[in-house]
Amino acid sequence: MNQNLMNRKINRVGTNTLTVSLPRSWVKKHKLKQGQELSVTEYGKKIVFSVEPAKQESTYSLQIPEGEFLLRYLERPYIAGYDEIKFTFKNYEILVELQEAIQRLIGVDIVQQDSKSCTAKVFVTEEMKEIKKTMISVFCTVKMMFDTLFDSLKKKNFENLKKLKSLDDSISRLTSLSLRLINKGNVIGEIRSSVYYASLSRELEHIGDQFSFISQACEFQKGDEINQELFNFLDFVKKRFELLYDFYIKPKWDKVHFLKSARNIYKTKIHGLFKKLNYNEAIILQRLLGMLSDITHVTECVILLELF
């Protein structure tokens, strides 16, 4: 998609009306005439004018067989961008399960139901449509997971690790919302920007998923001291993620080297560290290494989003 940056002055017509002229070349190309309507879509600080009419609400209908994982049936049309999802089923108990599954998706409510069917509708506010705000929420949630894990191990408060599950659920909900926004076209710019945002969403979700494995290993480790070198490595990964979060909020290119070189800093020490760990500690180290790799991938996504 070609993008030509143009400046337009705001003119006042009457007392309360402000106007901006359309580019002459664009008007001529699309053969626009006085009185013709344009579709106007607002994305945060940006407004997009298009010749095509605004997208109408879309409906997806499906029948749910018994014994299937209901969240997937609900999540896929939600992510695909459908505004209304109609379900039919033979067993009324499925409705109860559907109501529980709906709680895991942002902005979805059941608007109609009976013993063999129900209709769910997506209500997404304008604020929810801003992809960058959604991604910041994901970053903040992952950051909270690092803080929770670090503090729990430092204070030996293993009960506190249970908070990681609810935080991971929040990341899943936000990831589904971000992918929905991408598919609905709520990303300004070329198609590759959408690809980078989708990759960013998945990579952050993958980092969040690692915490469940680490939490489980910590539970089995309960009562035993965590190897100090391993704890230091957790602190290292945590600080690298905090640096990545700062870079996403306010990109400073001098931070890129520290983020992309993170894996190399510990490379020579890792092999020796594995030999010092028990089975559960080795699992924790393996997952932290996966996070470090994900941080590098997220860094690349953020760089590409800044460039394009």
The pLDDT of residue 57 is 64
Tell whether 2 is covered by a domain: no
- Asked if the model's pLDDT at residue 188 lies above 60, the reply is no
Tell whether 5 is covered by a domain: no
Query: What amino acid occupies position 242?
Result: E
Domain total of the chain: 3
pTM, full prediction = 0.77
Give per-residue pLDDT as tens, 194-242.
888 999 999 999 999 999 999 999 988 876 788 999 999 999 999 999 9
- What one-character DSSP code corresponds to residue 59? E
Residues 83 and 117 in one domain: yes
Tell whether 242 is covered by a domain: yes
User: What CA–CA distance (Å, rounded) separates 99 from 93?
Assistant: 10
Who has greater pLDDT, 118 or 30? 118
From first CA to last CA, the distance across the chain in angstroms is 12
Residue-number span of the structural domain to which 132 is assigned: 127-307
> Average of pLDDT values for 176-190?
78
Residues 272 and 202 in one domain: yes
Give per-residue pLDDT as tens, 7-51.
888 888 877 788 888 888 888 888 888 878 887 766 556 777 777
Tell whether 215 is covered by a domain: yes
Residues 291 and 155 in one domain: yes
Residues 90 and 207 in one domain: no
User: What CA–CA distance (Å, rounded) separates 300 from 296?
Assistant: 6
Residues 190 and 228 in one domain: yes
Give per-residue pLDDT as tens, 44-88.
567 777 776 545 668 889 888 765 666 777 888 999 989 999 988
